[in-house]
């Protein structure tokens, strides 16, 4: 009986979340802006390097955020498709083409951003930057997994 109640509670929680087209992420306290500022401190960037990096961030962040949101929305549309519908595969093909375009555009924008960063930092600073950002990503992913684990323990 306890399991049935837990499963019903989990199903209710998941159905409440399913109307949101994006998967909610855990905030581990460092916004992208804060992570960039922390990375600049970590690599001991000069004033000129700070300005160049922050300008690169400002010029591309809006685009990258928008592309990420669009990608998540396409995935959400795919999840909502009726797998038994006669036109299911055609709709998947359409969404796959849209998703590929968005992710290609994201790769180009992120590539231009990273190229600009690497061009404005020394090779040592660039290596330190990458290490720092990998650690930030790992910490965020760990927090997400811990949150999922806590969610599963609650229900």
pLDDT of the residue at 26: 44
The answer to whether the CB of 54 falls within 8 A of the CB of 144 is no
Residue found by looking up tokens 């922050």 in the block? 54
| Band (154; pLDDT cuts 50, 70, 90) | low
Angle among Cα 140, 99, 63 to the nearest 5 degrees reads 60
Mean pLDDT score, 108-119:
95
Q: Taking Cα atoms as reference points, which of 63, 84, 61, 76 lies closest to residue 22? A: 76
Buried b (16+ CB within 10 A) or exposed e, 89-110: eeeeeeeeebbeebeebbeebe
| Band (93; pLDDT cuts 50, 70, 90) | very high
pLDDT of the residue at 31: 65
Please check the confidence at residue 134 and state whether its pLDDT lies above 50: yes
pLDDT of the residue at 23: 47
Mean pLDDT score, 118-127:
97
Report the distance separating Cα 70 and Cα 98, nearest Å. 9
pLDDT of the residue at 142: 87
């Amino acid at each position: 009986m306890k399991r049935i109640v837990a499963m019903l509670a989990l199903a209710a929680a998941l159905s409440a979340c399913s109307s949101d087209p994006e998967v909610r992420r855990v905030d581990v306290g460092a916004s992208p802006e804060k992570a960039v500022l922390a990375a600049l401190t970590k690599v001991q960037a000069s004033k000129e390097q700070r300005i160049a990096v922050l300008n690169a961030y400002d010029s591309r962040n809006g685009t990258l955020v928008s592309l990420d949101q669009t990608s998540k929305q396409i995935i959400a549309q795919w999840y909502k498709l009726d797998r038994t519908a006669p036109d299911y595969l055609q709709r998947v093909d359409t969404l796959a083409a849209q998703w590929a375009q968005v992710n290609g555009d994201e790769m180009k924008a992120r590539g231009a951003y990273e190229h600009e960063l690497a061009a404005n930092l020394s090779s040592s600073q660039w290596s330190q930057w990458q290490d720092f950002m990998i650690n930030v990503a790992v910490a965020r992913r760990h927090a997400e997994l811990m949150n999922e684990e806590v969610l599963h323990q609650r229900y």
